[in-house]
Each structure stands twice: as C-alpha cells, then as structure tokens.
Amino acid sequence: MLTCHPGAIFGPAPVVERALHRTSFNRVLLAGMRGKIKRYLAFPVTWVAGKDVAKGSIAALDRGVAGERYLLIGQSKERFSTAGGINRACEIAGIDHRVEDLDYRTDPEALTAEFGPTLMAIAEAAAKSERKPRTKDNLTTRRLGYQPMSFDDGLRLLISWLRELGKL
C-alpha cells in the first residue's frame, strides 16, 4: 500500500457543497475575501490546488511504489499563512480587504477562546518547528512527475469558479 498526503486543498470541485463545507479551505478563503475574517493565527500552510491532488493521486496509482509516501502539496517556495493566502486571494480578486496575522503568544487565553485549542496548538508547534521547505528533488517529483501549479494560478481557478457560482 502507498499513501498520498495532500496539503491544504483548495479550488474548484464537482461537488459544491463539499468544496464549500464549513471546514474546507475554500470556505476560509471565501470568507476572507468576503471580509468576514479580520485576523487569523499565523502558521505556515502548504496550499495545494485540488486539481493537483487529483493528478498526483492518479500518478501515484499508475507509477507509485507500495510502501512509499507521496506529499501532494503546492510549489516548495509557496508556503503562506492563512492570512497570507487570503490576502493574496483578495489581491488577485481585486478586493481591498486584508487579514492580519496573529502570533499565538500575544494573548494566549483570548486567542484560544477565539480560535480554539487545536489551532493554537498548531500555531505553537509551527513556531517551535524548524521544518525545512521541500526541495525540488524529492520522491514525489521524481517518481510521479508531480509538478503542482502556482498558488496564484490555483487562486485564479478558485476565484473564477466562485464568481461563476455567484458566491463572490
């Protein structure tokens, strides 16, 4: 058995209700572009377009090797906080709204009440982590030929789709 591990999936999808579910990254980006999110805990997010996850998963089935683990994430240089992702989406969509990045240490009690203990734990762990960005020479790229689109290109697909749906 092999496994595929996607990052924060966003972008158009065939089942709108699932793609815009309360816990989806599409929903977070949409809420931010609508100005409903003013601030968000800062931690790096490995964004990935849903289209790339689908292509990478099929490539894993076709060319993957049992026992291997494939990371289906966006381009290695493109890790943004949630606020950073929303802000970039707003820029591309021509929306003036911007979201503030919050350091989890500024007011832990209030931020835990606002964002919950899980996001606080993620932000704290990320701040203490010394994870190195993925290199271009990695197993997923070599074995599967995986080449994800840029974050901006994924956002353009998402924004166009949301506008076609009348959501943005």
Residue 157, domain CATH: 3.40.50.720
Structural domain harbouring 95: 3-99+134-164
Rounded average pLDDT over 13-18? 94
Instruction: Give the Cα separation of 79 and 60 in Å (integer).
Output: 23
Total domain count, the chain: 1
Q: Supply the DSSP symbol for 45.
A: B
Residue in 155, 54, 7, 33 with CA at minimum distance from that of residue 96: 33
Residue 55 covered by a domain:
yes
Three-state secondary structure of 111-155:
HHHHHHHHHHHHHHHHHHCCCCCCCCCCHHHHHHCCCCCCHHHHH
Residue 9 covered by a domain:
yes
What value, to the nearest 5°, has the Cα angle with vertex 36 and ends 73 and 163? 65
127-156 pLDDT tens trace: 888 666 555 557 777 789 999 999 999 999
22-36 pLDDT tens trace: 999 999 999 999 999
Q: What is the pLDDT of residue 106?
A: 94
- Across the chain, what does the average pLDDT equal? 92
Residues across the chain: 168
Q: What is the pLDDT of residue 136?
A: 56
Rounded average pLDDT over 51-61? 96
